[in-house]
Amino acid sequence: MPLMNLHDRVTVTIENHVAHVLLDRADKMNALDDAMFEAIVAAGHHLHNERGVRAVVLSGAGRSFCAGLDLSSMGQADRWGEGGLAERTHGNANRAQQAAMVWRKLPMPVIAAVHGVCFGGGLQVASGADVRFIAPDARLAVMEVKWGLVPDMAGYVLWRGNVRDDVLRELTYTHREFSGEEAVRFGFATHVSTDPLADAMKLAQDIASKSPTAVRGAKMLSNRTPDMNVDEVLMAESIAQHELMYSKNQMEAVRAGMEKRPGDFVDP
């Protein structure tokens, strides 16, 4: 599929059922200005209904994934409108939160490839992915307190259950930098990789070879069940399974497995 460029900030390519979303402001280490926020959200919304996309890879151009908020945009408070940051412009989120949450809200899995600098809002954007590959020498920080702010781009939602509470508190209060290897130990990342983009693409291609309806059902359960009680989780599992059993893709998965061949699946 042809290259799509959004606001001269984000490019999207789609090949073999995998979408590659590239933060493409390398001269500013992909820092988040007004146009970058718009482009990231637009890319996510575009992919939400893009038939045939079974996995997404999110990466940054140049030397870094994302250096966080472009400090030159901090004084533009009027751009948020009368309701300010409390206004819910994107369902349950404001625009900045949606730049991170949109990846978690996508029906297909998202894999982030993180290298170089990943500070503040950039860390929260990466945290919206389902899985994160990170370079061992990457530099990360929960940076907001340095500028007299708090993390407010859905970090507290996305880190919950992954990052130990006392570790998150320390890193937030001090805004100290930590490495990619530490990020895995702390729960901010999934795998250390010397080539995060290659490994993210490999995983995305593996996921894209599976039944897309089963993978989407699994992501839906992963997103919903942390806020459910035991009875609700059991029911959600049963409903999701009932919708999949004996469907065209489920039967094809069985046949392909028995015949030891790639599956020929129908995209939802």
Supply the DSSP string of 90-158, one letter for each residue: BTTB-HHHHHHHHHHHSSS-EEEEE-SEEETHHHHHHHTSSEEEE-TT-EEE--GGGGT----SSHHHH
* pLDDT computed for residue 38 by the predictor: 96
Q: Where are the domains of the chain?
A: 4-207, 211-259
What's residue 71's pLDDT? 86
- The per-residue pLDDT for 74 is 66
Which one-letter amino acid corresponds to residue 75?
G
Q: Looking at residue 3, what is its pLDDT?
A: 75
What is the pTM for the complete model shown?
A: 0.95
Residue 73: exposed, middle, or buried by beta-carbon count in 10 A (0-12, 13-18, 19+)?
Answer: middle
Confidence label for 130 from pLDDT (cuts 50, 70 and 90): very high
Q: Is the pLDDT of residue 21 over 70?
A: yes
Average pLDDT on 208-222 reads: 98
- Taking only the tens place, the pLDDT of each residue in 152-183 is 999 999 999 999 999 999 999 999 999 999 99
| Structure-block tokens of residue 117 | 């600098």
pLDDT of residue 83: 66
pLDDT higher than 70, residue 217:
yes
- Give the other-Cβ count within 10 Å of 235's Cβ: 11
Find the length of the chain. Answer: 268
CATH code matching the domain that covers 4-207, chosen among 3.30.310.50, 3.40.50.300, 3.90.226.10, 1.10.8.60? 3.90.226.10
Comparing 66-80, 91-105, 190-204, 236-250, which segment has the lowest mean pLDDT?
66-80
Give the other-Cβ count within 10 Å of 143's Cβ. 23
User: What was the pLDDT predicted at 2?
Assistant: 55
| pLDDT reported for residue 78 | 47
**Burial degree of 226 (CB within 10 A; 0-12, 13-18, 19+):** exposed
What average pLDDT score do residues 183-197 get? Answer: 98
Quote the mean pLDDT of the chain.
95
Percentage above 70 pLDDT, the chain? 96
Report the C-alpha gap between 20 and 197 in whole angstroms.
10
Q: What is the pLDDT of residues 66-116, one digit of tens each?
A: 999 998 876 554 455 556 899 999 999 999 999 999 999 999 999 999 999
Measured between its terminal Cα atoms, the distance across the chain in Å is 18
**Which one is the CATH code of 211-259: 1.10.287.110, 1.10.275.10, 1.10.12.10, 3.30.300.30?**
1.10.12.10
pLDDT for position 27:
96
Q: Which of the four pLDDT bands, split at 50, 70 and 90, describes residue 34?
A: very high
Q: Say yes or no to pLDDT of 148 above 50.
A: yes
